[in-house]
């Protein structure tokens, strides 16, 4: 069962959108192209994969539990795809960056050409994340977050 994760409110000045279409419409053409391409790949990665627009600015991809989301978007640096249970992933491909985070690992790409160069490795990471959700159903993202907060 998917448990909702409710983070703290966003800081002032954080961009918000009314829905997924508004989110895509407000990206640069180059960023929109890569986001839509990745979105389509993710939605066909597993029969149970679905997307959920949350917190007025984030698209999450869920397959039994959270898999990844479209994270920070910068017009020149690109978009980060954050894997919510990234610390559990093997990172055999060497693409995941922690950027000082305890749980999340991410991949940043600037454009579609750059993404296509790592597409196969990206899909391996997605499949590994799905496998973790299938084989470790007790390790939900919400439980992991709350366990980490209790320890600190």
Write out pLDDT tens, residues 80-115.
999 999 999 999 999 999 999 999 999 999 999 999
CATH of the domain at 86: 3.90.1150.200
64 pLDDT band (50/70/90 cuts)?
very high
Residue 30 within any structural domain of the chain = yes
Q: What is the predicted pLDDT for the residue at 65?
A: 97
103: closest CA among 144, 72, 139?
Answer: 144
Domain total of the chain: 1
Contacts of 122 (CB under 8 A, 6+ apart): 38, 41, 81, 95, 107, 115
pTM over 0.75? The answer is yes
pLDDT of 130 strictly over 80: yes
Residue 5 within any structural domain of the chain = no
Domain that holds residue 103: 20-151
2: closest CA among 34, 50, 72, 38?
Answer: 50
Contacts of 140 (CB under 8 A, 6+ apart): 2, 3, 65
Residue 12 within any structural domain of the chain = no
């Amino acid at each position: 069962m998917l448990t909702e994760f409710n983070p703290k409110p966003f800081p002032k000045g954080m961009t918000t959108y009314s829905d997924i279409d508004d989110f895509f419409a407000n990206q640069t053409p180059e960023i929109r192209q890569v986001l839509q391409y990745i979105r389509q790949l993710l939605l066909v990665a597993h029969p149970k994969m679905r997307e959920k627009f949350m917190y007025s600015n984030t698209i999450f991809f869920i397959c039994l539990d959270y898999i990844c989301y479209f994270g920070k978007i910068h017009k020149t640096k690109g978009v980060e795809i954050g894997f919510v249970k990234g610390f559990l992933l093997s990172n055999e491909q060497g693409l995941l960056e922690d950027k000082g985070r305890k749980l999340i690992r991410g991949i940043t790409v600037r454009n579609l050409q750059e993404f296509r160069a790592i597409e196969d490795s990206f899909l391996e990471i997605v499949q590994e994340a799905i496998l973790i959700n299938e084989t470790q159903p007790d390790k939900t993202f919400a439980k992991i977050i709350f366990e980490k907060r209790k320890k600190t």
